[in-house]
Structure 1
Amino acid sequence: MEIKTERLKLRSVEKIDLENIHSLLMYPESALFNPSGFPDGIAHTAQMVEAWSAQIHESDVRKDYTFYIETLEGKEFIGLINISVVKLRYRNAEVWFKLVPTMWNKGYATEALNRILTFGFKELNFHRIEGGCAVENIASAKVMEKVGMVKEARRRKILPLEDGWSDNYEFAILEEEYPL
């Protein structure tokens, strides 16, 4: 599966992406606000890549879409973005994204997230899409606000981060709030 923006291509994860994805997951800046921390070696990352690449072959109702983000020009690796079903009956989904630190502050996260929201509302027919981030993760909070997501809550000490428990901001956007 592949979807495009003005500058980016979001495509299904493939096994050949292992090294780039492992490098992304090993950046200290990327792991700072990630409750999963660092992978336990490349074999652990390979298991994640295997699961993500298998998503496109699921015969049942697909519940998870993880995309490898690269530039259209030059095919430079940007990061990962995901949209997954939270509650199918309620048409709720959740998004997350993780970018290579050298790709931060270039508008790529906003561009990719905007496209994923369009995909979620228009093609997957979601009613509500949610996202969250540690309260200290100001950059991710700004990205979600830029695409129109509304900060709805602050959940106390819910994220087990490397330096202790962190509060989490919860964001959401409804299909009627998102301009298609």
Structure 2
Amino acid sequence: MNILLETPRLILRPLELSDAEAMFAMDSHPEVHRYLWQKPSTDIAESIKVIEYVNRQYNQHSIGRYATILKETGEFIGWTGIKFVDDHVENGNTNFYDYGYRLNPKFWNKGYATEATNFWLAYGIDQMKVSDLNAYTHAQNGASNKVLGRCGMSFMEDYPDESGVLWKWWQMKNTNL
């Protein structure tokens, strides 16, 4: 996949194996996993497997999480984007479009998550013509919950996962369809 997308400060492109080192640096940081099952990466091979998985998603669904690059410096700041969830059930749902992001902590609180989220939600609705775009966040992740609400997603409900952890289910409906 050779799609390059841009926001005012970010370049969004498909993940590549060359992103593995920067992705591992992000995913091995404990704070990144505070609201993600508390399992930071311990080996770069985990990042390589994720990139290979995402590349299979590009081939199967023509969409997936994208490397998110800071235009000013060329740094990999994390990943953002839409994926089609068909490999598990979340809040009783499968076969749905999911928006998500993960950023390296040194890029938190700079508005990048909001900028990328606004872009991807518009892309999903206007370009992909998705009828419903969903997201889910840990109930205690105040920053991510605030970003999704600020960017126009509607909070639908709280739900527990299989281990009893509470999550929030978000949705944006395409009113143009």
Report sequence identity in percent.
Answer: 25
TM-score in terms of structure 1 length: 0.84
Q: Deviations over 1:44-95 (max 9, x none)?
A: 2211112223444x2x5x16411000111111221111312247xxx94111
TM-score in terms of structure 2 length: 0.85
| Equivalent position SS for 1:131 | strand
Contact 2:134 2:169 survives alignment (8 Å): yes
Q: RMSD over aligned Cα, in angstroms? A: 2.2
Q: Structure 2: state its 5+ residue gaps.
A: 87-94
- 1:116 shift after superposition: 0.9
The AA in structure 1 aligned to 2:37 is: P
Q: Indicate how the Cα distance of structure 1 residues 53 and 36 shifts in structure 2: closer, same or farther if over 3 A, else same.
A: farther
Count of equivalent residues: 167
Matched, 1:11 2:13: yes
Matched, 1:79 2:78: yes
Return the alpha-carbon distance in structure 2 between the equivalents of residues 46 and 14 of structure 1. 9
Contact 2:19 2:76 survives alignment (8 Å): no
- In structure 1, the partner of 2:89 is none
Matched, 1:128 2:123: no
Return the alpha-carbon distance in structure 2 between the equivalents of residues 42 and 75 of structure 1. 21
The AA in structure 2 aligned to 1:67 is: Y
Return the alpha-carbon distance in structure 1 between the equivalents of residues 118 and 96 of structure 2. 17
- In structure 2, the partner of 1:148 is 152
- 1:99 shift after superposition: 0.7
Contact 1:18 1:45 survives alignment (8 Å): yes
- Between Structure 1 and Structure 2, the one with more strand by share is 1
Contact 1:150 1:173 survives alignment (8 Å): yes
- In structure 2, the partner of 1:97 is 101
Q: Deviations over 1:84-113 (max 9, x none)?
A: 2247xxx94111111111111111001101
Q: How does 1:54-73 map to 2 (within 5 A)?
A: 54-56=56-58, 58=59, 60=60, 62=61, 64-73=63-72
Of 37-46 and 22-31, more deviation after overlay is shown by 37-46
- In structure 2, the partner of 1:176 is 175
- In structure 2, the partner of 1:20 is 22
- In structure 1, the partner of 2:122 is 118
Q: Indicate how the Cα distance of structure 1 residues 94 and 55 shifts in structure 2: closer, same or farther if over 3 A, else same.
A: closer
- In structure 1, the partner of 2:51 is 49
Return the alpha-carbon distance in structure 2 between the equivalents of residues 159 and 137 of structure 1. 18
Contact 1:92 1:127 survives alignment (8 Å): no
